[in-house]
Every structure is written in C-alpha cells, then in structure tokens.
Amino acid sequence: MNKRLIISISIYTALIVVSAIEGWRSTYLIDMLPMGMPENVEAFIRFWLSCTGTEYLDNPDDMAVLALLLHWLIVTLIFALALLGFKRWLSRYLSARTTGEPSPRLPVLVTLVMSLLAFVVSCDLGWYLSLLFARYTVDIPMPVKAVIGSYRSVTDQGSGSGPDDDMTYFAIELYWVITTLFVATLIFLTCVVVCRSLRKKTS
C-alpha cells in the first residue's frame, strides 16, 4: 500500500511539474504574439486587485507581469487536466487490454490539449536546437542570407544601425522555425506510428 501511494504521489508530482514547465513555455509563446492585453484579462486583474486592496500599482509594468502570471496559471491548469485525463485513459486502456474489453477512445478535449502540448514541446526543442546551430555555425550560409534579405525587403525593414546583429537575429529566428517544424514532424510521425500499432493490437 505504501509503495502504491509513493508511486501515485510521484506520478502526480511529475504531472504538476511538467504542466508548470510547459505552461510557462507556452505563456512565453503567447507573450510573443503581437497583440495587446485583452480587456477581460485586465478587468479580471483589476477586480482581483480591488478585492485584495492593492488596486494602485507602483509600476505600470506590474500589470503586464500579473497578466503573464495569470496566463501561466490558466495554461498550467489546462495542461494538468489534460495530462490527468490522459493518465486515466491510459489506465482504462491497459485494463481493457488485460480483460479483453473494447478499448476506450481518447477524449477529444484531451487530444486537442495534448496536441497543443506537443506543439509547445516542439517550439521549445526547436529553440534550443536553433541556438546550438547558430552557436556552432561560423558564418551564416548564403541561402539563409538571401531568404532573410527577401523577407526584410517584403516587410520594409531596413538594415538599421547594426546589420550584422540584425542578420544574426533573423537567422536564429529562421533556424527556430525550421527546427520547430522538423521536431513537430518527428513527433507527429511518432504519434501516427504509435496509434497504428495500438489499433493493430486492439483489432
């Protein structure tokens, strides 16, 4: 009994940690979007501040920080519920395999959130791979420079005061997109192979 309790606590702790980490990563992705703070988010934060008696903030940037923390909390809860739903489905699936009953279907909401989680993981791994590639690359390849030059000419972005720094920045962003697509493709193909193998075992 104690062993099962320790295993359960370890599993739930791992779910919380993974949800918090990936929730923070996805919050940064949301913060990178070129949009302002939604009015309902600001209204909720001001209502919460008025309830706690701290509606007057010393620093205007504190509102953006609170919005970031609110997004983190919401996304973390969504990921935690999705991972919990996936854990329950996996337990039911393994139980159905041992008893010979029909395998349960994965809930649609859990599938969507798990897809979002896979996308966040792809962006995260793609970012680290792009940094490694940019770090160990001596010079930016000419095709990459051509793509960046075409993009900057289309978007009317001048060279600025530091063209070399700008070129490096755009190169890292381009590497990030490419590596993210590469990692996402690998994850998608892996999921397809796993789903097909599960269908063959249950058929």
Parent domain of 120? 107-203
Q: How many whole angstroms separate alpha carbon 49 and alpha carbon 43?
A: 10
Contact (CB, 8 A) for 23 and 75? yes
- pLDDT tens-digit map of 126-182: 878 777 777 766 677 777 778 777 777 776 665 544 555 567 777 777 888 888 888
- The whole-number pLDDT of residue 19 equals 84
**Is 67 found in the same domain as 33?**
yes
**Is 164 found in the same domain as 95?**
no
- Whole-structure pTM value: 0.64
**Is 141 found in the same domain as 84?**
no
Percentage above 90 pLDDT, the chain = 0
Please identify, among 86, 105, 124, the residue that sits at the C-terminal boundary of a domain: 105
**Is 97 found in the same domain as 6?**
yes
Domain count, the chain: 2
Q: How confident is the model at residue 58 (pLDDT cuts 50, 70, 90)?
A: low
- The whole-number pLDDT of residue 161 equals 46
Q: Cβ neighbours of residue 83 under 8 Å, at least 6 residues apart?
A: 15, 18, 19, 117
Percentage above 70 pLDDT, the chain = 80
| Crossing angle (nearest 10°) for helices 61-99 and 2-32 | 140
Q: What average pLDDT does this structure show over 56-81?
A: 78
What is the average pLDDT value for the chain, to the nearest integer?
76
**Is 199 found in the same domain as 169?**
yes
Lowest mean pLDDT among 21-25, 91-95, 105-109: 105-109
